[in-house]
Each structure stands twice: as C-alpha cells, then as structure tokens.
Structure 1
C-alpha cells in the first residue's frame, strides 16, 4: 500500500509530496504554489551516530540484549530518529564483543532494527588514561591502540568505526591497519599533540568524536587539539548539541569554522535519556540527577554524568539558540551523518531521493517532531 506524506521543503518552502511504496520512496512531487499555513516541514529521518542507550535500556554491560536494542530502535523512531549507531564504551574485550554480538543478534531478529542500525561504534578502550580527556571511561580498561583486537571485534558484530586517542606509541601504524581492515577511525577522548593528531589523519582517521568534549577543561590558546581537528578538512566532526556539553556560542563557532558539511549533531545519549527528571543510581556514575532540561549530573555537583536527550532535542536547541536555519541544522542531523553512514559501508541515509528508504520526519519551524514515517510506515 502506498503512503503519501506532504510537507514543506525546509530550504525552499515548496510543498513536497513524497510517495512511499514497499518501504522505498517511489516519487517526489514539488508544488511551488502557496502552502497551507499549518503545513509542517518535511525532512529525512534523523541520523544519530552515537547512542549509548535510551529509555532505560543500555547498549553496554551484562544487561545488553537484542530485545533491548530493538526497543531502543522503536523508541527512537517515535522521537524522529530513524537511523542510529549503537555505541559500545570502554570495557574488557569480552564485554565489548558481548555488546557487539547483541547488536548483530538484534539486527538478525528484527527487520526494522536491521534497517535502522547500519553498524556499531566502539568508543574506547584506546583512549587517554588521563583525568579529563578520559571522561567517565573505566581507567582500569584503558589500553594502547591494537588493530588485532579491533579485527576480533569485527568478527563479533557489525563494526563501523572506533574512537581512539592517537597519543599512544605506534598509533599511526595501528590506525592505518584498522582502516585497511575496513573499520573507520575517529579521534576522541584525547590529550594527543597536534603532530600526533595530524599523523592519525595521515594514517586514515576521518572522524572526530564529540569535538570539544573528552578533552582537558583548560587548553593552550594555540595550538590545541580542537583547532587542529577543526582545521583539517579530512575530518568530519561530531558535536553534542544538548545545550549542556557545549555552549551555544561554541557550537556556533565550530559549525561556522567547519561548515555544515563537515559537522554532524549527536545525542551521545545514555540509558537515562528519555526518562523522567529525578535522581538515579547508575553502574558508571553512582548517584546522578536528571533535570527537566535534560542535564544529567552527579548529585550535588555541576559535573556532567553523560547526555540524556535525543537528537530531536539537539535539533530544537540549535534552531533556538544559534543563527543556523532549520534547513542548516537538519543538514547536520540528516545529510551529513547520512553521508558518513554511506562512507562507512552502510546504505545511503539522510536525504529525500527516489529509490531510498522511506524514513521521513515532519517538523515544526522550531524543529519539534510532528510525526514520523519509518520504512514507509507511520510510527505510532
């Protein structure tokens, strides 16, 4: 059965009528006449390249399961996120491979999850061991970059990219081998020098994981790791736009420097994302407090304990608090991360084109999600 979705083109204001058949966009018609005043904007489904958990379900740890990962898929779809990348954090090799196997099993068991998850991301364990850049990653499991271990992960589940700090001895050679083996490399959680970051990019690193976070709170004016990554056109940079990890003016400047084609928004959400405000106990951070604004912090402090909003919240924050238009913000939440997915071996996402998967979201002018179509079917 064909499904037709109408909405405004966020760039031109034209009325778009998208016809979906068998889960694929079969036709796109454009009408340049005056649109109804209440017609929402129409965009591809949102693409989040970094999700650790959502709605009380964690991708990590012994509780990770195919059923939980499928549940995240369906909950995120209701929030407008139709493509997401499970993020496995620093742990033992056994625990990392366990999580990757759960992702593989979830994709095998549920067609909607298989379509929504192109691959997984392992953030760590090859990160900075230093307080600050390490963030909340388990210091006892931090270890040097090891391409052979990454190859073993790949045998366990669909691995798209791994985040590393390139300060380790032999980092560049290990990164080059990881890339040759078909896994992309992102720079993140690092105290690496400018020369070490450049060597990592020369070796094949193509991404920056949540630039501006996972780094010392105080840096030299110049050079420093943020400038180095912003300046290198070979890196596409993820930004946590929850309003807590990076101030609005920092996001503004970073996007102006790199452009919307080199920056993508991520939620970096943890399992408490989507939960009611309150105090919780977590396996990683102990007692944490989730505010009504989505700020997750350690009880009694201003220190962040993770990110606790979905990507739709990030879109709304960017529209409200920066100079970027809805169309520009959506580029960073659909087209650019969709391009990354394709570059890392997944099917093309994040654009409205005939023949592509029919993942659509309609939004208000402020970026609020009105309704969602995933795989040609309305999400309820």
Structure 2
C-alpha cells in the first residue's frame, strides 16, 4: 500500500514518559529510538475498536447503507484515533445481514485505506437470547435459533460473531464457526454457567460488553457473569462510557478479569457525536440521547448502544478504575489487537498505525492531534 514515504514522528511514551522518535517507511514502523527533544504530546499505536455500529451519522445497520457509508464511517472514527475498526451488524433478517456484509466487502475493495482499517465485520446476533433483558435492544423479530448454514451463507467477511450459548445448537455453532476461523464471543445471553463453560470448550474466546445485555436482577450465584469472569479462555470487552458500567462494577470486573484479558469497545452507534434529543435508529428503534451521553430506548431503562468514542472510553476508564494511561491504552490497542492480526503495538515491523494526543489527568477524552494509518497521515 502506498504511504507518505520515510518519515519520523515523535511523542512521549505513556509507559515510561520518555520521548520517542518512530521512523515510518513503506507503511510499517522501521525503527524506534529515544528522541533528545521533549514533546508535549503522547505517542501510541492507533486505537482498535472491535464493536462499532456507526459514528457521526454513519450507520452500517441502516437499510440504505452503501459503500460510501462504510468509507465515511472509517474516516469518522479515524478522526478520533481509531485506525482499526470492526463494523458491527446487529440482528436482522438474513438477507439484510448478507447485503450489509457484501457492501462492506465492496467498500474494502474500492479503497486500500478502508481495507486496511477494516479487517473483517462483527455480526452481533442474530443467534442471541430471545428474552427481555439479555436480548438488549435487538429486534425480537430478528432473533432466531443458531444456524451454521446461515453463517456459511454470509460469506467470509464475518470474522466475529456474538452468540448466546443457551442451547446445544448454539454451542455446536460456536464449534463449527471456530473451525471456520470465525472468532466467537459470548453475549446477550441467559445461558447457565455450565453452558458458558461448554461454549469456551467449543472455542469461544471473547465476552461481548460484559456486564451488559442481561437481566436487571441476577441470582447472587451462580450466574453467567461470574463464569465468564472466572474463565481465563474468554477475553472480556467492556464499554467504559460511565453509563453501561458504573465505577465499582467496572473496577471489580477489570480486576477479576485482569488487564491482560480485557479490552475496551465503544459500541458506538450513528448517534455518537450527535446532539442530545430523540432519534429513530435501526439499532434501538425510538431512542433518546441525554445531555450526559446516555443512549436509551424511549420509555425503558434499557440502553440502546453508546454515543461516545473509544478515545473517550480510554480517558473514562482511567477515572473509573484508577488506571494508568499506559494500561488504559493497552485496553484499546494491543489487547483488542490480538483479534485483528496483532494490531495496536509499537514495535519495528508492525503496521504504522500511530496517534499523537494531548491528555492530562481528569480529561474526559484523548485530544487526538495526528493520525497515521498504514504509514499515511490521515489527520
């Protein structure tokens, strides 16, 4: 892929505080060395977001979504520091899911930078719990039993699926999908602890936005949350927007799971970055975006996705869980990057996806100043 050619970028390393000079050549990191001159900006790998329904008015779940929608979504999230984005499709009729996947594939084929940004798509559903609470904002008419045949008909761009393993068919789907090279996540589920364990046995490797999409009240024990937290085979995704999880449960879950087995997602919808008000969306139907950024289904206490960027999530996670900047960034770079071919790392030979940003303790976001994707300056 063409790049800007050989160049250098400097910034402070969040782990050590030292200023680094990174040399970029042919779309990859060629060298990293100490820089003698100080910098006011931090330097990090580009953010990796495994769950994005939309952003800034661009919605991959909209009936009229097209190649331009996908390209615009990539550009919108790139401005916030996300250089690797996994478009996320929610439960819908099979033909809608297949058409959306085909459109994402066309957008990738039309633009090398879009192809670089999107490694695959995430289909969150339709094989989810049909019960109120675990189903979340998904259309009950589109939730259906697990069907490995449908998964095959979607084609190869569906690189991740979220499944509720509440019956044998779903667990068998996880086993078949894993053999196909599809990453399987447990989510939107009322599965028993034993079924969660069987899902991990079958190959599930992730938990989708753990702590959300469940009943308002759970048995003290056992329940599916404890089992997912306890199983080291499942890396947990968390939405750190201050609404999906308050400080105490977020901090407790992060400590139970461990930084090394956790990552952040935005779960952003097209309303991310939009003004407060009432909207109608494909993800949640009639929804309300509050002044504080809470996005909920009108007339219910249930959330309908999120409205904050992953850069916001990094800054919020620092405050909620008393994290260092380095650890919070790891949750949004290297850890999710394990599921995108090793993205999100700062080392020679890695893709030259880099950001510089300003941040001080107490800030509510990372103030992204420069974005480099595949060696090319895009902001």
Is TM-score (shorter-chain normalized) higher than 0.5? Answer: yes
Instruction: Give, in angstroms, the shift of residue 15 of structure 1.
Output: 1.2
- Are residue 76 (structure 1) and residue 70 (structure 2) matched? no
Cα 1:216/1:301, change in 2 over 3 Å: closer
Kept in 1: contact 2:137–2:303 (CA 8 A):
no
Partners of 1:303 and 1:167 lie apart in 2 by 22
TM-score, normalisation: structure 2 = 0.93
Kept in 2: contact 1:316–1:368 (CA 8 A):
no
Instruction: Give, in angstroms, the shift of residue 336 of structure 1.
Output: 0.2
Structure 1 residue ranges without an equivalent (≥5): 343-347
Residue in structure 1 matched with residue 311 of structure 2 by the alignment: 312
Kept in 1: contact 2:185–2:207 (CA 8 A):
yes
Instruction: Give, in angstroms, the shift of residue 286 of structure 1.
Output: 4.1
Kept in 1: contact 2:90–2:283 (CA 8 A):
no
Residue in structure 1 matched with residue 363 of structure 2 by the alignment: none
Residue in structure 2 matched with residue 191 of structure 1 by the alignment: 190
Kept in 1: contact 2:135–2:188 (CA 8 A):
yes
Other structure's SS at 1:223 match: coil
Partners of 2:179 and 2:318 lie apart in 1 by 39
Partners of 1:331 and 1:50 lie apart in 2 by 16
Deviates more, 1:364-373 or 1:305-314: 364-373
TM-score, normalisation: structure 1 = 0.93
Residue in structure 1 matched with residue 232 of structure 2 by the alignment: 233
Partners of 1:283 and 1:185 lie apart in 2 by 24
Of 328, 344, 350, 1:350 maps to 344
Deviating beyond 6 angstroms after TM superposition, the runs of 4 or more aligned structure 1 residues are: none
Residue in structure 2 matched with residue 223 of structure 1 by the alignment: 222
Residue in structure 2 matched with residue 43 of structure 1 by the alignment: 44
Instruction: Give, in angstroms, the shift of residue 288 of structure 1.
Output: 2.6
Kept in 1: contact 2:28–2:374 (CA 8 A):
yes
Other structure's SS at 1:72 match: helix
Partners of 1:277 and 1:318 lie apart in 2 by 23
Deviates more, 1:357-366 or 1:301-310: 301-310
Residue in structure 2 matched with residue 208 of structure 1 by the alignment: 207
Residue in structure 2 matched with residue 25 of structure 1 by the alignment: 29
Residue in structure 2 matched with residue 87 of structure 1 by the alignment: 88
Residue in structure 2 matched with residue 281 of structure 1 by the alignment: 280
Residue in structure 2 matched with residue 129 of structure 1 by the alignment: 130
Residue in structure 1 matched with residue 13 of structure 2 by the alignment: 9
Cα 1:300/1:126, change in 2 over 3 Å: closer
Kept in 2: contact 1:124–1:163 (CA 8 A):
yes
Other structure's SS at 2:339 match: helix
Residue in structure 2 matched with residue 362 of structure 1 by the alignment: 356
The root-mean-square deviation of aligned C-alpha atoms, in Å, is 1.6
Partners of 1:192 and 1:213 lie apart in 2 by 14
Partners of 1:66 and 1:243 lie apart in 2 by 33
Residues matched between the structures, number: 370
Structure 2 residue ranges without an equivalent (≥5): 361-365
